[in-house]
Amino acid sequence: MRHLTLIGIGTGHPDHLTRGAVGALQRASTILIPRKGTSKEDLAGVRRALVDEVVSGPVRVVEFDLPVRDEAIADYRERVDRWHAAIAAVWAQAAGGAERVAMLVWGDPSLYDSTLRIAQRMRPVPEIEVIPGITALQALTAAHAVPLNGVGEPVVITTGRQLRSRGWPPGADRVAVMLDAGGAFSAIPAEDVTIWWGANLGLPSQALDSGPLAVAGPRILATRAALRAAHGWVMDVYLLARV
Ligand SMILES: C[S@@+](CC[C@H](N)C(=O)[O-])C[C@H]1O[C@@H](n2cnc3c(N)ncnc32)[C@H](O)[C@@H]1O
Protein backbone atom coordinates (compact mmCIF):
# COMPACT_ATOMS: atom_id res chain seq x y z
CA MET A 1 0.00 0.00 0.00
CA ARG A 2 1.58 3.26 -1.15
CA HIS A 3 -1.23 5.74 -0.47
CA LEU A 4 -3.93 5.62 2.20
CA THR A 5 -6.88 8.01 2.23
CA LEU A 6 -8.71 8.18 5.55
CA ILE A 7 -12.19 9.47 4.90
CA GLY A 8 -14.05 10.94 7.88
CA ILE A 9 -17.66 9.93 7.25
CA GLY A 10 -19.33 11.69 10.16
CA THR A 11 -21.89 9.77 12.14
CA GLY A 12 -23.01 7.58 9.24
CA HIS A 13 -25.93 9.82 8.23
CA PRO A 14 -25.55 10.75 4.53
CA ASP A 15 -26.20 14.43 5.42
CA HIS A 16 -22.99 14.36 7.46
CA LEU A 17 -20.81 13.38 4.50
CA THR A 18 -18.86 16.39 3.25
CA ARG A 19 -18.39 17.06 -0.46
CA GLY A 20 -14.72 16.25 0.10
CA ALA A 21 -15.65 12.83 1.47
CA VAL A 22 -18.00 12.14 -1.44
CA GLY A 23 -15.26 13.10 -3.93
CA ALA A 24 -12.69 10.89 -2.19
CA LEU A 25 -15.11 7.94 -2.16
CA GLN A 26 -15.84 8.41 -5.85
CA ARG A 27 -12.11 8.49 -6.70
CA ALA A 28 -11.28 5.40 -4.62
CA SER A 29 -10.50 2.11 -6.36
CA THR A 30 -10.18 -0.03 -3.21
CA ILE A 31 -12.16 0.68 -0.04
CA LEU A 32 -11.54 -1.23 3.19
CA ILE A 33 -14.41 -1.62 5.65
CA PRO A 34 -13.75 -3.09 9.09
CA ARG A 35 -16.21 -5.47 10.70
CA LYS A 36 -16.19 -5.29 14.48
CA GLY A 37 -17.76 -8.60 15.39
CA THR A 38 -21.41 -9.53 15.05
CA SER A 39 -22.82 -7.06 17.59
CA LYS A 40 -21.51 -4.11 15.58
CA GLU A 41 -22.36 -5.67 12.24
CA ASP A 42 -24.98 -3.05 11.46
CA LEU A 43 -22.29 -0.34 11.75
CA ALA A 44 -20.41 -2.04 8.89
CA GLY A 45 -23.81 -2.03 7.14
CA VAL A 46 -24.04 1.76 7.55
CA ARG A 47 -20.63 2.11 5.92
CA ARG A 48 -21.62 -0.21 3.06
CA ALA A 49 -24.83 1.78 2.49
CA LEU A 50 -22.86 5.04 2.30
CA VAL A 51 -20.51 3.57 -0.28
CA ASP A 52 -23.45 2.22 -2.32
CA GLU A 53 -25.14 5.60 -2.19
CA VAL A 54 -22.27 7.75 -3.42
CA VAL A 55 -20.11 5.44 -5.56
CA SER A 56 -21.44 4.51 -8.96
CA GLY A 57 -18.20 3.57 -10.78
CA PRO A 58 -16.21 0.37 -10.36
CA VAL A 59 -14.72 -0.04 -6.89
CA ARG A 60 -13.35 -2.98 -4.93
CA VAL A 61 -14.88 -3.01 -1.45
CA VAL A 62 -13.04 -5.32 0.95
CA GLU A 63 -14.51 -6.10 4.35
CA PHE A 64 -12.22 -7.49 6.99
CA ASP A 65 -12.56 -8.66 10.57
CA LEU A 66 -10.80 -6.47 13.09
CA PRO A 67 -8.52 -8.51 15.38
CA VAL A 68 -9.82 -8.75 18.93
CA ARG A 69 -7.80 -7.05 21.70
CA ASP A 70 -6.10 -9.54 24.01
CA GLU A 71 -7.61 -8.58 27.37
CA ALA A 72 -5.27 -11.08 29.09
CA ILE A 73 -2.38 -8.60 28.66
CA ALA A 74 -2.44 -6.69 31.95
CA ASP A 75 -0.75 -3.46 30.86
CA TYR A 76 -3.26 -1.25 28.97
CA ARG A 77 -0.69 0.46 26.70
CA GLU A 78 0.98 -2.82 25.80
CA ARG A 79 -2.44 -4.36 25.09
CA VAL A 80 -3.31 -1.51 22.73
CA ASP A 81 0.16 -1.51 21.15
CA ARG A 82 0.00 -5.22 20.23
CA TRP A 83 -3.57 -4.79 18.99
CA HIS A 84 -2.54 -1.94 16.68
CA ALA A 85 0.31 -4.04 15.26
CA ALA A 86 -2.16 -6.86 14.55
CA ILE A 87 -4.58 -4.44 12.84
CA ALA A 88 -1.81 -3.00 10.63
CA ALA A 89 -1.01 -6.55 9.48
CA VAL A 90 -4.68 -7.24 8.69
CA TRP A 91 -4.97 -3.99 6.68
CA ALA A 92 -1.99 -4.98 4.52
CA GLN A 93 -3.56 -8.38 3.91
CA ALA A 94 -7.00 -6.91 3.12
CA ALA A 95 -5.48 -4.40 0.65
CA GLY A 96 -4.22 -7.41 -1.30
CA GLY A 97 -1.47 -5.55 -3.14
CA ALA A 98 -3.58 -2.46 -3.99
CA GLU A 99 -1.36 0.63 -4.09
CA ARG A 100 -4.06 3.21 -3.31
CA VAL A 101 -6.51 2.38 -0.58
CA ALA A 102 -9.32 4.34 1.09
CA MET A 103 -10.70 3.63 4.52
CA LEU A 104 -13.88 4.96 6.09
CA VAL A 105 -13.42 6.42 9.55
CA TRP A 106 -16.28 7.12 11.94
CA GLY A 107 -16.55 10.87 12.68
CA ASP A 108 -13.13 12.44 12.11
CA PRO A 109 -9.82 10.55 12.18
CA SER A 110 -8.27 13.03 14.67
CA LEU A 111 -10.65 12.40 17.54
CA TYR A 112 -10.40 9.27 19.70
CA ASP A 113 -9.53 7.14 16.73
CA SER A 114 -6.36 5.11 16.26
CA THR A 115 -6.41 4.80 12.48
CA LEU A 116 -3.65 7.40 12.03
CA ARG A 117 -1.48 5.72 14.66
CA ILE A 118 -2.05 2.27 13.13
CA ALA A 119 -1.13 3.61 9.68
CA GLN A 120 2.28 4.57 11.11
CA ARG A 121 2.80 0.90 12.03
CA MET A 122 2.67 -0.21 8.39
CA ARG A 123 5.90 -0.98 6.55
CA PRO A 124 6.58 0.90 4.42
CA VAL A 125 4.52 3.70 5.99
CA PRO A 126 2.03 4.81 3.31
CA GLU A 127 1.52 8.40 2.23
CA ILE A 128 -1.53 9.48 4.23
CA GLU A 129 -4.29 11.83 3.16
CA VAL A 130 -7.06 12.79 5.60
CA ILE A 131 -10.52 13.94 4.58
CA PRO A 132 -12.02 15.61 7.68
CA GLY A 133 -15.38 14.44 8.98
CA ILE A 134 -18.08 15.70 11.31
CA THR A 135 -17.40 14.37 14.79
CA ALA A 136 -19.91 12.81 17.16
CA LEU A 137 -19.36 15.86 19.38
CA GLN A 138 -20.41 18.24 16.63
CA ALA A 139 -23.47 16.09 15.94
CA LEU A 140 -24.28 16.30 19.68
CA THR A 141 -23.87 20.06 20.05
CA ALA A 142 -25.84 20.65 16.83
CA ALA A 143 -28.67 18.32 17.91
CA HIS A 144 -29.02 20.25 21.19
CA ALA A 145 -28.12 23.66 19.70
CA VAL A 146 -25.62 24.22 22.51
CA PRO A 147 -22.05 25.63 22.45
CA LEU A 148 -19.20 23.26 23.30
CA ASN A 149 -17.28 25.84 25.36
CA GLY A 150 -18.12 28.53 27.87
CA VAL A 151 -17.12 32.10 26.89
CA GLY A 152 -13.30 32.22 26.65
CA GLU A 153 -13.01 28.83 28.38
CA PRO A 154 -10.94 25.88 27.16
CA VAL A 155 -12.58 22.87 25.53
CA VAL A 156 -12.16 19.74 27.64
CA ILE A 157 -12.90 16.37 26.08
CA THR A 158 -12.35 13.22 28.08
CA THR A 159 -13.38 9.58 28.27
CA GLY A 160 -15.86 7.81 30.54
CA ARG A 161 -12.95 5.92 32.08
CA GLN A 162 -11.12 9.17 32.98
CA LEU A 163 -14.24 10.83 34.36
CA ARG A 164 -14.83 7.83 36.60
CA SER A 165 -11.24 7.54 37.84
CA ARG A 166 -10.25 11.23 38.08
CA GLY A 167 -13.55 13.03 38.52
CA TRP A 168 -14.39 16.45 37.08
CA PRO A 169 -11.30 17.88 35.27
CA PRO A 170 -9.87 20.70 37.43
CA GLY A 171 -10.56 24.22 36.14
CA ALA A 172 -13.10 23.19 33.50
CA ASP A 173 -16.58 24.69 33.42
CA ARG A 174 -17.76 22.19 30.77
CA VAL A 175 -16.58 18.72 29.92
CA ALA A 176 -17.45 16.54 26.94
CA VAL A 177 -17.34 12.79 27.49
CA MET A 178 -16.82 10.08 24.86
CA LEU A 179 -16.08 6.36 24.98
CA ASP A 180 -18.20 5.79 28.05
CA ALA A 181 -18.91 2.13 28.74
CA GLY A 182 -22.00 3.29 30.64
CA GLY A 183 -23.07 6.08 32.94
CA ALA A 184 -19.68 7.44 34.09
CA PHE A 185 -21.56 10.65 34.92
CA SER A 186 -23.01 8.77 37.92
CA ALA A 187 -19.54 8.94 39.49
CA ILE A 188 -19.58 12.75 39.90
CA PRO A 189 -21.74 14.84 42.23
CA ALA A 190 -24.84 15.77 40.20
CA GLU A 191 -25.58 19.01 42.01
CA ASP A 192 -25.60 22.09 39.74
CA VAL A 193 -24.57 20.04 36.70
CA THR A 194 -26.49 20.11 33.40
CA ILE A 195 -26.15 17.31 30.85
CA TRP A 196 -26.78 17.24 27.09
CA TRP A 197 -26.71 13.62 25.96
CA GLY A 198 -26.99 11.86 22.60
CA ALA A 199 -26.82 8.23 21.56
CA ASN A 200 -26.50 6.65 18.11
CA LEU A 201 -26.47 10.16 16.64
CA GLY A 202 -27.29 10.32 12.95
CA LEU A 203 -28.63 6.76 12.94
CA PRO A 204 -32.32 5.81 12.88
CA SER A 205 -32.09 4.81 16.55
CA GLN A 206 -30.81 8.28 17.63
CA ALA A 207 -31.86 9.29 21.16
CA LEU A 208 -31.43 12.68 22.85
CA ASP A 209 -31.98 13.89 26.39
CA SER A 210 -30.91 16.88 28.47
CA GLY A 211 -31.53 18.62 31.75
CA PRO A 212 -30.24 18.79 35.32
CA LEU A 213 -28.00 15.72 35.81
CA ALA A 214 -29.83 14.65 38.98
CA VAL A 215 -33.10 14.37 37.03
CA ALA A 216 -31.91 13.44 33.52
CA GLY A 217 -29.18 11.00 34.66
CA PRO A 218 -31.47 8.10 35.70
CA ARG A 219 -33.63 8.61 32.59
CA ILE A 220 -30.53 8.47 30.37
CA LEU A 221 -29.33 5.26 32.03
CA ALA A 222 -32.71 3.64 31.28
CA THR A 223 -32.73 4.81 27.63
CA ARG A 224 -29.15 3.64 27.19
CA ALA A 225 -29.96 0.19 28.55
CA ALA A 226 -33.02 -0.06 26.27
CA LEU A 227 -30.92 0.86 23.20
CA ARG A 228 -28.29 -1.71 24.10
CA ALA A 229 -30.95 -4.36 24.59
CA ALA A 230 -32.54 -3.53 21.22
CA HIS A 231 -29.36 -3.31 19.11
CA GLY A 232 -26.66 -5.16 21.05
CA TRP A 233 -24.58 -1.95 21.24
CA VAL A 234 -24.94 1.74 21.93
CA MET A 235 -22.62 4.69 21.28
CA ASP A 236 -23.18 7.81 23.32
CA VAL A 237 -21.55 11.15 23.91
CA TYR A 238 -22.45 13.95 26.30
CA LEU A 239 -21.59 17.42 27.45
CA LEU A 240 -21.67 18.35 31.14
CA ALA A 241 -21.75 21.95 32.36
CA ARG A 242 -21.52 23.39 35.84
CA VAL A 243 -24.06 26.15 36.26
C1 LIG B 1 -13.64 5.44 18.91
S2 LIG B 1 -14.52 6.93 19.25
C3 LIG B 1 -14.66 7.57 17.63
C4 LIG B 1 -14.94 9.05 17.60
C5 LIG B 1 -15.01 9.57 16.18
N6 LIG B 1 -13.70 9.54 15.56
C7 LIG B 1 -15.58 10.98 16.07
O8 LIG B 1 -14.91 11.85 15.47
O9 LIG B 1 -16.67 11.22 16.54
C10 LIG B 1 -16.09 6.27 19.57
C11 LIG B 1 -16.89 7.17 20.50
O12 LIG B 1 -17.37 8.27 19.76
C13 LIG B 1 -18.68 8.58 20.18
N14 LIG B 1 -19.57 8.34 19.03
C15 LIG B 1 -19.20 7.98 17.80
N16 LIG B 1 -20.26 7.93 16.99
C17 LIG B 1 -21.33 8.26 17.73
C18 LIG B 1 -22.71 8.40 17.46
N19 LIG B 1 -23.19 8.16 16.24
N20 LIG B 1 -23.53 8.78 18.46
C21 LIG B 1 -23.05 9.02 19.69
N22 LIG B 1 -21.75 8.91 20.00
C23 LIG B 1 -20.90 8.54 19.04
C24 LIG B 1 -18.99 7.69 21.37
O25 LIG B 1 -18.58 8.38 22.54
C26 LIG B 1 -18.11 6.50 21.09
O27 LIG B 1 -17.81 5.81 22.29
Q: What is the pLDDT of residue 22?
A: 93
Distance CA 16, CA 214 (A): 32
User: Minimal CA–CA distance to 29: which of 101, 93, 97, 119?
Assistant: 101
- For the Cβ of 202 lying below 6 angstroms from any atom of ligand 1, the answer is yes
Across 18-22, 66-70, 155-159, 182-186, least confident range: 66-70
Does the structure show a pLDDT above 80 at 3? Answer: yes
Protein residue with least CA distance to atom 15, ligand 1: 136
What spacing in Å lies between the alpha carbon of 139 and ligand 1's midpoint?
Answer: 10
- Closest atom of ligand 1 to 179 CA is 27
**Ligand 1 pocket mutation pick from 235, 236, 238, 239 by most atoms within 8 angstroms of CB:** 235
Distance CA 228, CA 134 (A): 24
- For the Cβ of 138 lying below 6 angstroms from any atom of ligand 1, the answer is no
Q: What is the pLDDT of residue 52?
A: 87
Protein residue with least CA distance to atom 5, ligand 1: 107
With beta carbons less than 8 A apart as the criterion, state whether 174 and 194 touch. Answer: no
pLDDT tens sequence across 27-68:
999 999 887 655 555 777 888 888 888 888 888 999 888 898
- For the Cβ of 168 lying below 6 angstroms from any atom of ligand 1, the answer is no
- Closest atom of ligand 1 to 180 CA is 27
- For the Cβ of 160 lying below 6 angstroms from any atom of ligand 1, the answer is no
Protein residue with least CA distance to atom 4, ligand 1: 112
Task: Give the CA radius of gyration of the chain.
Answer: 19
How far, CA to CA in Å, does 119 sit from each of 7, 66, 145? 13, 14, 35
pLDDT tens sequence across 186-227:
999 999 999 999 999 999 999 999 999 999 999 999 999 999
pLDDT tens sequence across 134-176:
999 999 999 999 999 999 999 999 999 999 999 999 999 999 9
